[in-house]
Amino acid sequence: MKIPFDNNKLDRLMDEQNIDFLLITDKDSVQYLLGGYRFFFLAHKDSIGISRYLPTIGYPKGDLENSFYIGNGLEKQQQDVEPIWIPNIVNNQWTSSQAGIDAAENIRKLGYDKLTIGIEFCHMPSDTYIKLKENLPNVKFVDALPLMQELRVIKTPEELEKLELVSNYITRSMEKVMTTTIPGTNTFDIAEELRRDEVNKGLNFEYCLVAAGACYNRTPSKKFTWNKGEVLSLDSGANLNGYLGDLCRMAVMGNPTTLMQDLLSQVKAIQDAPRKIIRAGITGREIIEIAENEKNKCDPKNHIKFMAHGMGIIQHEAPHLDDTGIVPYPAPYKDRPLESGMVLSIETDLKSDEIGLIKLEDTVVVTENGCKGFGDNIRDWVCNYQE
């Protein structure tokens, strides 16, 4: 079978970090390495009995034939109709501790029990790790999470197509909800209507942050309503076959006031500044700096925040651009050039005590000579004239 990822790049990354063997237990990473396969029965909630489902991939560097997969006892039927490339499959896992025991046994048989193994520490249950340590006392365990994100930082054309589709579907659903909601509807019902429309388009709904009027609280609630003359902010995430769309758009019940138009134009100016320079070769620092420079031109009394981060299977995945932002993490792409095929989310929010929350969040893919926006419609005010 065709290997659904760049195994040569994976081997090179393992070489650079002196990792001999990978043991992957994050469901998103497992899905990526298996080309989209995810056990449907436990795809949403993985708790079962007294433990949890833990799909596990063992990958020896440069040795695809000795890779192994540890799955649940019910998975064989799905694998019969959706075969995976890994030749060695063990479908008897009902507890996360058993996954650790089975993985250790296979690692020992392959002769990697005295070498360096990369695991995703934040995605491995403690009982799995305890069993690995008990059964592989001479192994050095190191964190492989940055490596796994770097592996998928450049998206394939097929991945980009999914990201574009999910982004376009989300903004279309937003436009429908924004133009058909009647005055006085509470934000819980608005978010629920958005969820239904996204699901009807074939998406897996994840969340909707919704703010109405001058209230900054974005929790869907029956306490908050969207009324005539007020603004509405919809910030929604949904995924298509695991690939995430995350966008924010603005609406007004009626026509926007002069102040509303001015505030959204400030937000758009900050958003558009980095979009004018994003291309292959640009760094995260340059993106942040040009947005901050544009932000400094705005009225300081308005609380404005800008953030840029990677997008893909998860929120804030590589490339990581900024280590001083709202969500802190190491940022190798702060001074490292971006490459064609990387996908970014850029977002600006402004808080006006008079108007409320004004926010745009865009998704863009880096190209050789610029960038392309996904879900780029309705970046201006969407007007609702319902009575």
Domain boundary among 136, 151, 166: 151
Interval 66-88: pLDDT, tens: 999 999 999 999 999 999 999 99
Specify whether 111 is located in the same domain as 173: no
- What confidence score (pLDDT) does residue 128 get? 98
Interval 42-68: pLDDT, tens: 998 999 999 999 999 999 999 999 999
The verdict on residue 384 lying in a domain is no
The verdict on residue 199 lying in a domain is yes
The verdict on residue 1 lying in a domain is no
Specify whether 144 is located in the same domain as 278: no
The verdict on residue 255 lying in a domain is yes
Q: How many separate domains does the chain show?
A: 2
How many other β-carbons are positioned within 10 Å of the β-carbon of residue 270?
26
Specify whether 68 is located in the same domain as 170: no
Specify whether 221 is located in the same domain as 123: no
In the predicted model, what is the mean pLDDT of residues 352-360?
96
- What confidence score (pLDDT) does residue 327 get? 86
In the predicted model, what is the mean pLDDT of residues 14-37?
97
Specify whether 143 is located in the same domain as 260: no
The verdict on residue 383 lying in a domain is no
Domain CATH for 61: 3.40.350.10
Domain boundary among 118, 151, 184: 151
Specify whether 214 is located in the same domain as 133: no
Specify whether 195 is located in the same domain as 278: yes
Run of H or E including 208 = strand 204-212
Residues forming beta bridges with residue 344, ordered by sequence position: 310, 364
Specify whether 279 is located in the same domain as 168: yes
Structure tokens at 138: 């001479």
Specify whether 83 is located in the same domain as 184: no
* C-alpha–C-alpha distance, residues 44 and 117, integer Å: 28
- Whether residue 311 is predicted with pLDDT greater than 90 in this model: the reply is yes
Domain CATH for 307: 3.90.230.10
Residue 199 confidence class, pLDDT cut points 50, 70, 90: very high
* C-alpha–C-alpha distance, residues 258 and 317, integer Å: 38
Domain that holds residue 328: 157-378
- Whether residue 185 is predicted with pLDDT greater than 90 in this model: the reply is yes
Domain boundary among 151, 170, 198: 151
The verdict on residue 131 lying in a domain is yes
